[in-house]
């Protein structure tokens, strides 16, 4: 005689008499030790920055930024500042005559200035300086080549300062430090 | 307030056996299963960082054990292919479930029968019966529909009942 097949309730009752064994003491110990280490590393000072520390850091950064922005007022006066406050005969360029939009093309040794009243073009050609001054209407007011060592006294007085400024630009005596010595390169953003 | 480590230890004490049982289905030995559990808990710890390191929900842990088991199975298969000359010994005394009562014939038969269920049926039975999950939670853990989970459970019980009756009949005839 075949024994009857147990129904679902009897089967589940029998399954309930089976229990999964616990983790071995060693495994339990290993996992608990790991949890302790994880919790300690998470709570370690330095791994978490409190809001107060953020505020402190931001305050220091703001102070440094303000100091840098105010430095020209307290430190050594830069040339434009000096010219603006104390124009003198020794000043090479008056603030009022500073080019508003000058360009410099290094490969062609060409410095130009364009304004409402005209245009100045100064080119370095070997030992000479080619100077071209055009009025607002395009009329040539001055077009000569001068030895590089000569002064700009022959240039019309209204344009002399701007010509000198462009000549210094070409000589690199005034803005050489601002001219990049290499090609601009794409910015490499460090990966987090 | 309970520290995160203590909360996790308490959670592990409550759920460690059921996690280990489920991990047994994805490993060749008890030691490997325990390693799987530890691996899953480590992943869960980092996963719970955004939740203040509170102990995780069980369905997610079962799912993670399954994921770790799959990874382990892949690496183990590759390793075995490399080391074909190595003979692996099985621990035949190693069992997944312990009977509560001694000489419980039905329970002992079912213990072996559960281990020999197909993987798909065994997972559902373990998660439902010893994992304490609902069919909805099982469906989320195994990425199947709740109806599929329920039907697999029902089919597994039918197979277990059939196996239990068959073995008892064999023993009865032998006696």
Question: Of all helices (H) and strands (E), which one includes residue A84?
Answer: helix A79-85
Q: Contact B97/A19, CB-based, under 8 Å?
A: yes
State the Cα–Cα distance between residues B79 and B67, nearest whole angstrom.
18
Which of the pair, A74 or A81, is modelled with greater confidence? A74
Per-residue pLDDT, averaged over B78-87, amounts to 59
Assess contact for B172 and A3: CB atoms under 8 A.
yes
* Residue A119 within any structural domain of the chain: yes
Sequence-distant (≥ 6) Cβ neighbours of residue B59 within 8 angstroms: B133, B137, B138, B140, B141
pLDDT band at residue B159 using 50, 70 and 90 as cut-offs: very high
Both tokens of residue A177?
């430090």
User: For residue A81, what are the CA distances in angstroms to A113, A142, A161?
Assistant: 22, 31, 17
pLDDT-above-70 percentage for chain A: 61
Per-residue pLDDT, averaged over A12-23, amounts to 87
Which of the pair, A189 or A165, is modelled with greater confidence? A165
Q: Contact B110/A18, CB-based, under 8 Å?
A: yes
* Residue A129 within any structural domain of the chain: yes
pLDDT-above-70 percentage for chain B: 89
State the Cα–Cα distance between residues B39 and A27, nearest whole angstrom.
12
Q: Contact A18/B99, CB-based, under 8 Å?
A: yes
CB pairs under 8 A between A and B: 118
A34, closest residue in chain B (CA to CA)? B42
B162, closest residue in chain A (CA to CA)? A5
Torsion of CA B135, B140, B145, B146, to 10 degrees: 10
Give the best residue of A12, A23, A34 to mutate against chain B (max B CB count within 10 A): A23
* Residue A132 within any structural domain of the chain: yes
| Residues of chain A with C-beta less than 8 angstroms from the C-beta of B37 | 23, 27, 31
- The SS3 call for residue B136 is helix
Q: Contact B20/A22, CB-based, under 8 Å?
A: yes
Q: Could you tell me where the DSSP H helices lie in B25-57?
A: 30-47
Domain count, chain A: 1
pLDDT score, position B81: 64
Q: Contact B160/A18, CB-based, under 8 Å?
A: no
User: For residue A104, what are the CA distances in angstroms to A61, A114, A167, A179, B138?
Assistant: 36, 12, 11, 9, 73
Q: Contact A12/B17, CB-based, under 8 Å?
A: no
Q: Contact A20/B97, CB-based, under 8 Å?
A: yes
Give the best residue of A5, A14, A16 to mutate against chain B (max B CB count within 10 A): A14
pLDDT band at residue A77 using 50, 70 and 90 as cut-offs: very low
Assess contact for A109 and A131: CB atoms under 8 A.
no
| Residues of chain B with C-beta less than 8 angstroms from the C-beta of A35 | 4-5, 8-9, 12, 41, 45
pTM value is 0.54
pLDDT in tens, A142-159: 998 888 888 888 888 888
* Residue A125 within any structural domain of the chain: yes
- Location of structure tokens 């010595």: A181
Q: B159 CB near a chain A CB, below 8 Å?
A: no
Assess contact for A175 and A169: CB atoms under 8 A.
yes
For residue A159, the enclosing domain spans: 97-178
pLDDT score, position B73: 78
Please tell me the distance in Å from A59's CA to the nearest CA on chain B: 28
Is the pLDDT assigned to residue A50 strictly greater than 60? no
pLDDT band at residue A116 using 50, 70 and 90 as cut-offs: confident
State the Cα–Cα distance between residues A113 and A159, nearest whole angstrom.
11
State the Cα–Cα distance between residues A111 and A101, nearest whole angstrom.
11
Per-residue pLDDT, averaged over B164-175, amounts to 82
Using CB atoms, pick whichever of A15, A22, A31 lies closest to residue B17. A22
């Amino acid at each position: 005689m075949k024994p009857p097949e147990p129904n679902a309730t009897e089967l589940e009752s029998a399954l309930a008499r089976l229990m999964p064994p616990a983790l071995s003491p060693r495994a339990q110990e290993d996992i608990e030790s790991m949890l302790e280490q994880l919790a300690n590393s998470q709570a370690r000072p330095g791994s978490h920055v409190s809001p107060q520390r953020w505020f402190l850091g931001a305050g220091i950064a703001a102070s440094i930024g303000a100091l840098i922005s105010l430095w020209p007022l307290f430190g050594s006066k830069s040339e434009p500042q000096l010219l603006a406050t104390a124009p003198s005969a020794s000043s090479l360029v008056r603030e009022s005559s500073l080019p508003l939009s000058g360009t410099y093309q290094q490969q062609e040794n060409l410095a130009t200035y364009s304004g409402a009243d005209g245009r100045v073009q100064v080119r370095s050609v070997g030992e000479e300086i080619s100077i071209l001054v055009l009025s607002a209407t395009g009329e040539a007011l001055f077009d000569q080549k001068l030895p590089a060592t000569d002064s700009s006294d022959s240039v019309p007085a209204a344009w002399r300062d701007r010509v000198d400024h462009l000549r210094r630009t070409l000589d690199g005596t005034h803005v050489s430090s601002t001219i990049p010595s290499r090609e601009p390169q794409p910015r490499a953003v460090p990966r987090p | 307030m309970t520290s995160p480590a203590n909360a996790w230890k308490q959670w592990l004490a409550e759920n460690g056996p059921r996690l280990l049982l489920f991990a047994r289905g994805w490993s060749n030995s008890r030691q490997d299963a325990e390693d799987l559990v530890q691996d899953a808990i480590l992943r869960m710890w980092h996963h719970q960082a955004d939740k203040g390191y509170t102990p995780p929900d069980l369905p997610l842990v079962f799912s993670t054990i399954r994921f770790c088991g799959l990874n382990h199975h892949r690496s183990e298969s590759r390793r075995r292919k490399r080391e074909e000359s190595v003979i692996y010994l099985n621990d035949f005394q190693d069992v997944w479930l312990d009977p509560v009562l001694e000489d419980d014939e039905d329970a002992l038969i079912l213990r072996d029968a559960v281990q020999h269920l197909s993987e798909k049926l065994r997972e559902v039975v373990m998660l439902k019966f010893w994992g304490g999950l609902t069919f909805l939670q099982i469906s989320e853990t195994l990425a199947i529909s709740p109806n599929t989970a329920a039907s697999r459970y029902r089919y597994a019980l039918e197979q277990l009942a059939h196996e239990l009756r068959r073995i008892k009949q064999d023993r009865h005839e032998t006696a």
